[in-house]
Structure 1
Amino acid sequence: MSPRLQARLRHQRPDFTLEVDLDLPGQGVTVLFGPSGCGKTTLLRCLAGLESASGHITVAGETWLDDHSRRPVHQRPLAYVFQEASLFPHLSVTGNLHYGYRRTPRRLRQIHPPQVEAWLGLETLRERFPHQLSGGQRQRVAIARALLTSPQLLLMDEPLSALDQASKQDILPYLERLHRELAIPVLYVTHSPEEMARLADHLVVMADGRVRAQGSLTELLPRLDLPVTSAQEVGVVIDATLAAEDADWHLSRADFNGGALWLPTPTRPLGSPLRLRVLARDVSLARQPHHDQSIQNLLPATVVSVDSDHHPAMALVRLALADTPLLARLTRRAADQLNLTPGQQLWAQVKSVAIVD
């Protein structure tokens, strides 16, 4: 198991106090999520050494901060990706990529240009200059340049926030691939539920300079006491495997621990891992399986609890598909008509179009 990233930090300003205690995996993407002003960027800057803080930081088994010493910024082996790409305008893509790579001692080089070019789809862009790139392409080059310093920690502060929606959709698949390839921890700040659902392995929910919760995405996302998503966006993420295809209908079956879901066939080979997002508003419930309807996904489910929603007319029903959680957002009238109680067995109906890979 990779050494963990541990940080116990206190940072004081006249109008704000950051006080956090983190114990994060040493690999994968940890998303920092919370409202503006809650301390996400301040936390990244403290980890980087750009803001002073007291406490303790350990990364990859090395101590960066404790009661007796504080590593300066230039001695912390990390990379920081900001909202703006900030490429060198007089250098080509290759020149930008090699800028940090050449300044990294040979013995410390763990990541090399051909790797990041393949991960981020830059092979055809090598000779272009920044003014010849789209916003999404510039940000991919910025991420690649950061990785070529072979960091032990990658910090990403809302790297897609300056991009339009089309550019975001262009770059997200590359980031998904990147987080599968990297063997270092990535801390990723975002306000986007879609980015969180697609990229996060681990989630840290922050508010008022404190950590409200930290844990795996699948564990925290269904929690109703955390301000992770709006009422319309509340749902779950399911890790599945692409198991079968129906060529006549262009549908594929994704299997997971607790059942299977049909969805439009993705451009991936059979056996590929899939991450599926199912919104509570797109799940309905029935006492019996109804096959004379348009909804294709009928899953046996157990009621775990019936909870209040933000709107008094609505209820959130927590369900279990074996060990996989599911949420359904119903009117309270419908929940009452079904006489929902914990332990009750029924059928969850999930629209295929509501499943997001």
Structure 2
Amino acid sequence: MKLVARLEQSAPIPLAADIACDSGELLALVGPSGSGKSTILRCLAGLHRPAAGSVRCGETTWFDASRGIDISPQQRRVGFVFQHYALFPHLSALANVMVALQHLPLNERAETARQWLARTKLEGLEARRPAELSGGQQQRVALARALAREPQVLLLDEPFSAVDQVTRRKLLRQLIKLRRSLDIPIVLVTHDLEEAAVLADTMTVLHHGRSLQSAPPDELLARPASALVARLTDQPNVFVGKVLEQSPATDTTLIDWLGQPLQATHHADFAVGDSVCWVLPEAGVILVREHQNDRENTVNAIVRERLAWRGHATVTARVAGRGDATLSFAIGASVAQRRGIVPGASIALQLQKAAICLTPADPAAVAQIVTPSDVQR
């Protein structure tokens, strides 16, 4: 069962989005506020009708503007977990789940609801009303209710946004375990890139309602299709360069970066003289010892900032002789301590050739992310 949609409208929120999610897969929709993520979920569920496009689930067409097809939300068999859960405050947890079981005989509903509450780790809380539950427990009641419908598609709209960080991590682990048993398409809306990377098989980046790129999270973050995608996925190392040389024989595209030649893996789409954006994930910046600074793509830098968290350190360093250009990279906190990586320290960094991704020089995106003074701010 595959969910496929093309959604188009000009207002109130513009949409030009393509959605595709197979059974057993989780698709994460990411993008800034106002990019149309929640509107897309509402279109899939039948709660909003776009001006044009179509929605198909398996062999069934739920919506087709050109053919006048618009199946009601009740007929679409969609499980929907809303951002603020939308539980009935006057009903118990058990009764909230039973609301979704109208398709079952009356005498089976209570036991089935109990089974779903048990699957979401809520045994013993069946009689409590939403006000008597924690935020994480309310979220799990909402998830149990959504799944109790035996949906063909599960839609999750910022399901962890209303809980604290510790609870969020617990819920993430529970969802990871639960989804292994769900052979249906799951579409998740989230602002949290880490959350998307942990949960999703595929991530779609949206901007002003338009799909910019869809790919597995690791691939998308390592190879953004444009400078705009890099900016929207919070890539810290995005700069402008100019192609100096193309050498297919050595698998090299040589670019000029602020007066220094930089080797990237061969990108045949660009000609000598073209301006390009180049993107380097933090993992592609390697801390090297000073006596090893004869390696390719090695630059000297001064540490500006070191932030440590949970055994890892994120380091920002100003590149020597490159104006205000800075590079960001991550290392183990113990390594940073041992190597004396503190503000003001001189370090040598290697920019891994294979990790450098070249994209077209989009002037609008470049103006927002890669001007040296912007990097400094």
Q: Which residue of 2 aligns with 1:189?
A: 189
One of 21, 32, 35 as aligned partner of 1:35 = 32
Q: Which residue of 2 aligns with 1:137?
A: 137
Q: Which amino acid aligns with 2:16?
A: E
- Displacement after TM superposition at 1:26 (Å): 2.6
* 8 A contact 1:27–1:185 mirrored in 2: yes
The size of the alignment, in residue pairs, is: 257
Residues 270-324 of structure 1: CA distance to partner in whole angstroms, max 9, x if unpaired? xxxxxxxxx83697345899xxxxxxxxxxxxxxxxxxx9x7232789xxxxxxx
Q: Which residue of 1 aligns with 2:234?
A: 230
One of 42, 45, 49 as aligned partner of 2:46 = 49
SS in 1 for 2:196: helix
Residues 12-41 of structure 1: CA distance to partner in whole angstroms, max 9, x if unpaired? 31x542112233223221100001111111
Does the C-alpha gap of structure 1 residues 316 and 90 become closer, same or farther in structure 2, counting only changes over 3 Å? closer
2:290 is the alignment partner of 1:284: no
One of 62, 81, 93 as aligned partner of 1:64 = 62
Does the C-alpha gap of structure 1 residues 231 and 55 become closer, same or farther in structure 2, counting only changes over 3 Å? closer
SS in 1 for 2:222: coil
Identity of aligned residues (%): 38
- Displacement after TM superposition at 1:61 (Å): 2.1
2:14 is the alignment partner of 1:17: yes
2:213 is the alignment partner of 1:213: yes
SS in 1 for 2:162: coil
Does the C-alpha gap of structure 1 residues 233 and 313 become closer, same or farther in structure 2, counting only changes over 3 Å? closer
Provide structure 1 residue ranges, at least 5 long, that are not aligned to the other structure: 235-278, 290-308, 318-330, 344-357
- Displacement after TM superposition at 1:112 (Å): 4.7
2:108 is the alignment partner of 1:104: no
Q: Which amino acid aligns with 2:28?
A: V
CA RMSD in angstroms, aligned pairs only:
3.4
* 8 A contact 1:7–1:22 mirrored in 2: yes
- Displacement after TM superposition at 1:91 (Å): 2.4
The CA distance in 2 between the partners of 1:77 and 1:155, in whole Å, is: 11
* 8 A contact 1:155–1:188 mirrored in 2: yes
* 8 A contact 2:7–2:17 mirrored in 1: yes
* 8 A contact 1:28–1:180 mirrored in 2: no
One of 312, 315, 321 as aligned partner of 2:325 = 312
- Displacement after TM superposition at 1:114 (Å): 5.6
- Displacement after TM superposition at 1:169 (Å): 2.5
SS in 2 for 1:30: strand
- Displacement after TM superposition at 1:341 (Å): 4.6
* 8 A contact 1:11–1:52 mirrored in 2: no
* 8 A contact 2:154–2:186 mirrored in 1: yes
SS in 1 for 2:156: strand
SS in 1 for 2:169: helix
The CA distance in 1 between the partners of 2:162 and 2:234, in whole Å, is: 22
Q: Which residue of 2 aligns with 1:204?
A: 204
The CA distance in 1 between the partners of 2:129 and 2:55, in whole Å, is: 38
The CA distance in 1 between the partners of 2:197 and 2:205, in whole Å, is: 14
- Displacement after TM superposition at 1:340 (Å): 5.5
TM-score (norm 2): 0.60
* 8 A contact 1:5–1:60 mirrored in 2: yes
Q: Which amino acid aligns with 2:153?
A: L
TM-score (norm 1): 0.63
Provide structure 2 residue ranges, at least 5 long, that are not aligned to the other structure: 239-280, 293-321, 331-344, 356-377
SS in 2 for 1:127: coil
* 8 A contact 2:80–2:155 mirrored in 1: yes
The CA distance in 1 between the partners of 2:237 and 2:142, in whole Å, is: 30
SS in 2 for 1:203: strand
Q: Which residue of 1 aligns with 2:3?
A: 5
* 8 A contact 1:221–1:228 mirrored in 2: no
* Matches for 1:90-169 after TM superposition, within 5 Å: 90-101=90-101, 103-105=102-104, 112-113=112-113, 116-169=116-169
Q: Which amino acid aligns with 2:234?
A: S
* 8 A contact 1:97–1:144 mirrored in 2: yes
* 8 A contact 2:288–2:348 mirrored in 1: no
Q: Which amino acid aligns with 1:142?
A: A
Q: Which residue of 2 aligns with 1:76?
A: 76
Does the C-alpha gap of structure 1 residues 312 and 117 become closer, same or farther in structure 2, counting only changes over 3 Å? same
- Displacement after TM superposition at 1:158 (Å): 0.8
Structure showing greater radius of gyration is 2
Q: Which amino acid aligns with 2:55?
A: I
